[in-house]
């Protein structure tokens, strides 16, 4: 299976929680009791559909063939006040950063952010009460028992937004994959053509004193991505969760300031809240620059955003970059 197919960040499923079991309508009858009182038991609860966070998962690949998720119905109540068995719950393990939505309304129904976090996504129907619950001094032989409540059903969308501390943002071929391969243990596919990265690549950056942080190389953005051109929204939704955005602009760019503004505008038109994040600019492929050119590029860039000159080939500026990212990530704590 190709690398591209291994990363699944969107799944459509049909899901139905279990129906509640019906309460029993029954009267006690045995050889000692010819006309006993009501003893119908309650119905069992229908099975829930539960989402559980699992930090060892990075993709929704394991759910690819999970098209119909049908929880078990609750058992009907029976005589002797016996309550029916509850339907078995279905637990769906998902990576952190998973969001579940109703397809028809688009409403967000659940969001998983922590390992082991469990959310009852679709509740099973309650079991109906048996007729023993309805006996009163004036009505000692109730003929009434409740049916169980139906479960809920519908087409659902499960989507993954990658959880990483730092998101790498840049035009295709800006050198993001190369940088990731040098500063982390990730092994992204690297080639000299646009859109090499079709899926988010994640890597842990080992920092000083055994500290580390997570970097995601996100698919290359192009002008018009917010309208859905290129990889469009599919790419942009992964950036929403990154605390720091590292803009990678190649040294050989025609206009460094303009390239940064285009990238920033794409993010803003998709979601203005993106502009609240911390930005860092790295000028990649800087081994080809002398000090005079670096000074000229520095004057082009916005003064209020920290920038560095780096080279993934010669390792120039990589430790200062890690220092700057770590400081930016931890400044609010």
Q: What is the mean pLDDT of residues 144-154?
A: 91
- Asked if 46 and 101 sit in the same domain, the reply is yes
- Asked if 149 and 123 sit in the same domain, the reply is yes
- Asked if 179 and 154 sit in the same domain, the reply is no
Question: Rounded to 5 degrees, what are φ and ψ at 16?
Answer: -145, 125
Comparing 307 with 176, the larger pLDDT belongs to 307
Q: What is the mean pLDDT of residues 298-319?
A: 85
Overall number of domains in the chain? 2
**Where does the pLDDT of residue 193 fall: very low under 50, low under 70, confident under 90, or very high at 90 and above?**
very low
Q: What is the mean pLDDT of residues 77-105?
A: 90
**Where does the pLDDT of residue 134 fall: very low under 50, low under 70, confident under 90, or very high at 90 and above?**
confident
- Asked if 112 and 58 sit in the same domain, the reply is yes
Q: Which domain holds residue 25?
A: 1-160
Q: What is the pLDDT of residues 275-307, one digit of tens each?
A: 888 899 888 888 887 888 888 888 888 888 888
pLDDT of residue 62: 82
- Asked if 27 and 155 sit in the same domain, the reply is yes
10 CB-contact burial (10 Å; exposed 0-12 / middle 13-18 / buried 19+)? exposed
**Where does the pLDDT of residue 163 fall: very low under 50, low under 70, confident under 90, or very high at 90 and above?**
low
Comparing 229 with 155, the larger pLDDT belongs to 155
Q: Mean pLDDT check: name the lowest of 165-169, 223-227, 299-303, 304-308.
A: 223-227
- Asked if 102 and 204 sit in the same domain, the reply is no
Q: Where among 128, 160, 192 does a domain terminate?
A: 160
Q: What is the mean pLDDT of residues 64-80?
A: 89
Q: Mean pLDDT check: name the lowest of 36-45, 196-205, 285-294, 307-316.
A: 196-205
Whether residue 225 contacts residue 236, with contact meaning beta carbons closer than 8 Å, is answered with: yes
The helix/strand/coil state of 181 is helix
Task: Indicate which CATH number applies to the domain containing 259.
Answer: 3.40.50.300
Comparing 39 with 30, the larger pLDDT belongs to 39
pLDDT of residue 201: 67
Task: Indicate which CATH number applies to the domain containing 100.
Answer: 2.70.210.12
**Where does the pLDDT of residue 266 fall: very low under 50, low under 70, confident under 90, or very high at 90 and above?**
confident
pLDDT of residue 5: 45
222-230's contacts with Cβ under 8 Å and 24+ in sequence apart are 222/171, 222/172, 223/262, 223/266, 224/266, 225/266, 225/270, 226/266, 226/267, 226/269, 226/270, 227/269, 230/195
Reply yes or no on whether the pLDDT at 92 is more than 90.
yes
pLDDT of residue 153: 93
- Asked if 147 and 178 sit in the same domain, the reply is no
- Asked if 180 and 44 sit in the same domain, the reply is no
pLDDT of residue 149: 94
- Asked if 148 and 171 sit in the same domain, the reply is no
The helix/strand/coil state of 69 is strand
DSSP 111: E
Reply yes or no on whether the pLDDT at 29 is more than 60.
yes
pTM across the whole model: 0.61
Percent of the chain with pLDDT over 90: 20
Q: Mean pLDDT check: name the lowest of 28-32, 90-94, 187-191, 282-286.
A: 187-191
pLDDT of residue 72: 95
Reply yes or no on whether the pLDDT at 88 is more than 80.
yes
DSSP 71: P
pLDDT of residue 144: 84
Q: Where among 160, 189, 216 does a domain terminate?
A: 160
pLDDT of residue 162: 66
Alpha-helical segments (H) within 184-317: 232-239, 256-270, 291-300
């Amino acid at each position: 299976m190709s690398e591209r197919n291994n990363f699944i960040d969107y799944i459509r499923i049909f899901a139905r929680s279990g129906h509640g079991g019906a309460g029993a309508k029954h009267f006690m009858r045995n050889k000692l009791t010819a006309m006993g009182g009501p003893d119908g038991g309650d119905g069992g609860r229908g099975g829930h559909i539960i989402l559980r966070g699992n930090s060892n998962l990075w993709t929704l690949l394991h759910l690819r063939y999970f098209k119909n998720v049908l929880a078990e119905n609750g058992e009907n109540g029976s005589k002797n006040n016996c309550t029916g068995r509850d339907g078995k719950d279905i637990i769906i393990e998902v990576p952190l950063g998973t969001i579940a939505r109703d397809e028809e309304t688009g409403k967000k129904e659940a969001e998983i952010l922590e390992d082991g976090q469990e959310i009852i996504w679709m509740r099973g129907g309650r079991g109906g009460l048996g007729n023993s619950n309805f006996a009163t001094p004036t009505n000692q032989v109730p003929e009434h028992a409740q049916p169980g409540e139906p479960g809920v059903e519908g087409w659902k969308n499960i989507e993954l937004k990658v959880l990483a501390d730092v998101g790498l943002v840049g035009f295709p071929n800006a050198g993001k994959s190369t940088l990731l391969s040098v500063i982390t243990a990730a092994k992204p596919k690297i080639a000299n053509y646009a859109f090499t990265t079709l899926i988010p690549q994640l890597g842990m950056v080992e920092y000083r004193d055994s500290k580390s942080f997570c970097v995601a190389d996100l698919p290359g953005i192009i002008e018009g991505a917010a309208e859905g051109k290129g990889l469009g929204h599919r790419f942009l939704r992964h950036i929403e969760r990154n605390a720091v955005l590292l803009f990678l602009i190649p040294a050989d760019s025609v206009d460094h300031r303009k390239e940064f503004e285009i990238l920033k505008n794409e993010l803003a038109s998709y979601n203005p809240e993106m502009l609240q994040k911390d930005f860092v600019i790295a000028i990649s492929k800087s081994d080809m620059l002398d000090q005079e050119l670096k000074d000229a590029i520095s004057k082009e860039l916005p003064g209020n955003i920290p920038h560095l000159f780096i080279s993934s080939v010669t390792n120039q500026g990589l430790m200062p970059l890690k220092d700057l990212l770590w400081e930016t990530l931890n400044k609010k704590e």
